[in-house]
Chains A and B, each alone.
Chain A
């Protein structure tokens, strides 16, 4: 508890917190809840030798709600478990304690170059990688030309991906991934990929997606400015525990104050 803010700062901050947390749940009852995360923790076993192994908690206590149309920014320094959180939400792993309640939505992580086979052509990789990401084959066939056009790979699409430059591969990967249209899209720092021109294009389209009211997005970043620009709500994770959840401005103010002074609002339970 020594990390609690002291003196004059204590009053307003303590009263701010419950307001921030409850704002999503109480003041906007009309919005549709899609995911509820409650006191979730995840641990990995780290193997040191034949018998010795140690439990490592990647996340200890994470709770928040996600509503349809939300753009939720997850902020925190590197290594606080943000990527683990996305894996949990994507259903790739299950929590060791706490629960994630899914109100009937599909959730998936925006992943680039998933399952690419370098010796096959771009066209074949569109089908295979797309199917791994859960897009039906028929749909991929129909969108094939649009994907190729967006990736600007018309000339090379029948060449093996192994012959592509890294920029070309990234363009192809991004164009395929854009077609995964889950109800909830999870984005891990991916905004601009590929060569300079394409970076602008992909950044713009990702920003559009994140801002849009139709798609629900969880966006992980350690860049406070990007989250301020793109998200309507935010969660700050520090020491594997959610420090504060609520309106972006409020959360980011607390986060930037923490970066400057090192003080947390809710101390991590030791």
Chain B
């Protein structure tokens, strides 16, 4: 009798995540270039609309926009894909008894690898705009770590319930569209009226994007208190999603609409 341990599935999540990443790259003619082209084109659109038409340019507007876009994209893409990861693997789930946690974790690995690729674009733009290296940048990995926690909390919880309520995916998609405008991607939240600021701070992406900008281009140490709160709430979300997936484990093969 073979004993399978966590190590086996951890290894599988990393291997398959890496494999999906490469499969994604070789699927289209332009391959990996899309991960750079997509945020770049988005940035150009936002630059023209807000920078040229509305004259809302702030200093270093291009890196400002790009930081917002790149980190928003990582959140949006990863959470949406994790949400459908269990649902999309029904055929496999019906054949082998697997810990279902495997599927959102594979997605997390794939999306994070893709994200690192788009980071190259950000680094290039920062060099072009002569943003000097600064000690505040050393804090950036911590901010990114908090963002991964947020992604995991939302992604796991969605992954747990989407197989039973497939509409959840559409609802979250709409929610994401609204959140995009409320996350301070193409404007600085600090320039808004105080009332609005208080409200927007409830959106973790506002805090995170501001913290990324603080470390990467504004040479200041981010405000840790809201980040700590976000980390705590996300950990609770991770625990909740994780527990639900484990609880529902034997139900997925059965309840996914036939």
Contacts and interface: CB of A to CB of B under 8 A. Distances in A.
A105 to B, nearest CB: 7
A42 interface: yes
Given A119-B26, A134-B2, A114 B95 contact: yes
A45 B164 CA distance: 11
A46 B254 CA distance: 10
Interface string A26-46: 000000000000000010111
B66 to A, nearest CB: 29
Given A117-B19, A132-B12, A136-B2, 7 more contacts: A94-B251, A114-B92, A119-B26, A128-B12, A132-B92, A136-B8, A137-B11
A181 B2 CA distance: 9
Nearest to A125: B19
A111 B96 contact: yes
Nearest to B12: A131
B2 A106 contact: yes
A132 B96 contact: yes
B98 interface: yes
**Interface SS majority for chain A:** loop
A130 to B, nearest CB: 10
A128 B14 CA distance: 11
20 contacts: A42-B254, A46-B258, A92-B94, A92-B95, A92-B97, A92-B253, A93-B253, A93-B254, A94-B251, A105-B1, A114-B92, A114-B95, A114-B96, A117-B23, A119-B27, A120-B22, A124-B19, A134-B2, A137-B8, A160-B26
- Chain B, interface residues (CB within 8 Å), range: 20 to 34
B218 interface: no
B199 interface: no
B1 A106 contact: yes
User: Which one of A91, A104, A181, A183 has the highest number of Cβ atoms from chain B below 10 Å of its Cβ?
Assistant: A91
**Interface SS majority for chain B:** helix
A92 B93 contact: yes
Given A128-B12, A131-B11, A111 B20 contact: no
Contacts of B196: none
Contacts of A108: 96-97
Given A46-B258, A114-B92, A114-B96, A119 B23 contact: yes
Contacts of B12: 128, 131-132
B257 A47 contact: yes
Contacts of A135: 2
B1 A183 contact: yes
Interface in B235-258: 250-251, 253-255, 257-258
